[in-house]
Amino acid sequence: MTAEVPSQVREALDTPQPQVLAQVRNHIGHLTLNRPAGLNAITLDMVRSLHRQLDAWAHDPAVYAVVLRGAGEKAFCAGGDIRSLYDSFKAGDTLHEDFFVEEYALDLAIHHYGKPILALMDGFVLGGGMGLVQGADLRVVTERSRLAMPEVAIGYFPDVGGSYFLPRIPGELGVYLGVSGVQIRAADALYCGLADWYLQSSQLELLDGCLDSLIWHANPLKDLQGLLATLAVQTLPDAPLLAQRTAIDHFFALPDMPAIVEQLRAVTVGDSHEWALATATLLESRSPLAMAVTLEMLRRGRHLSLEDCFALELHLDRQWFERGDLIEGVRALLIDKDKRPRWNPPTLQGLDGQRVAAFFHGFDHRGS
């Protein structure tokens, strides 16, 4: 039996929902990424909507702060809508070129925003999602949070400011996260400095209520920090990366990717044995070219300004669709789904140092 749907309900169902929701409550601008069925993967239209709204609120004296979140319980944002970029390139269009220029401009604007931004990083925060939150003043994770820069898995490199925020994580942790693409949870996010506060997801509704009734004083950032201090914590015990920190700092400071994997494979005893072998196996499944370029990019990014890091990523983007492994990675993992990408070169042993260096030609004047 099928229920009859009233005409006004049918009309509501047929009306597309905005992919970005914007609302002001109690002097707070709330922005919600509203593609829950697509894990809130960000499109060019969403980038433009977010940037327009942030610009408007930046000049609105009635808005004191901004809260950024994703709809649904699965993801804040699982990255950029990479399928649309693949289709654009294959069709000879320019969407993929416009997307990166405008996405990076949005991410940079968040880093420099004049009012405090509170990012609620519930669920997956991957790739482009990390670009949206790492410039925020207050970054909240929950027990459902899964953070990663997983680009090397599809033959790409960690962008959206990854060349800036990853190498500024203590030691070699950021290099490890960038060239492996592994996901981390709340305790590691706090330990790495990729998040500031931990709150149980069941408390998010309470946080919303507190934000709606918050009494503002002279400093909105301090007011928000004071509220979070009553509900959240800033450290969690048993961060896995802390336990592996010594090994990570050793292996991921080695000169190049072949040396890193070779040395990981050579570990035969000790507490790091299983981790080292699992890590080596993971790295061997990634695009060798993407990992090598990522390693060089992160080491350069450690000494570059935020603006120059975005410029470097854009410099790489403009070459990568033609000369990198992204198109093959998307084909294998998202289009044909055979999960058998034909990387070029197929192994780390086939890497050509000159080919890797060539991606950075023309950018050397900015420093290294």
Indicate which residues carry an active-site annotation.
80, 128, 151, 159
Distance of CA 214 to the CA centre of its chain: 30
Is residue 356 a contact partner of residue 325, using CB atoms and an 8 Å limit?
Answer: no
Q: Which H or E element spans position 66?
A: strand 65-70
User: Angle at CA 174, nearest 5°, toward 350 and 362?
Assistant: 60
Rounded CA-CA distance 41/129 in Å is 8
**What DSSP designation does 49 have?**
H
Joined tokens for residue 11: 């009309």
Nearest CA to 131 out of 166, 102, 107 is that of 107
What are 28's strand-pairing partners? 25, 65
Joined tokens for residue 31: 């922005």
Joined tokens for residue 180: 């492996």
Joined tokens for residue 104: 């990076």
Residue type present at position 314: L
- DSSP helix/strand/coil, 294: helix
Rounded CA-CA distance 252/260 in Å is 6
Rounded CA-CA distance 131/125 in Å is 9
Q: Which H or E element spans position 54?
A: helix 44-58
Contacts of 38 (CB under 8 A, 6+ apart): 78, 81
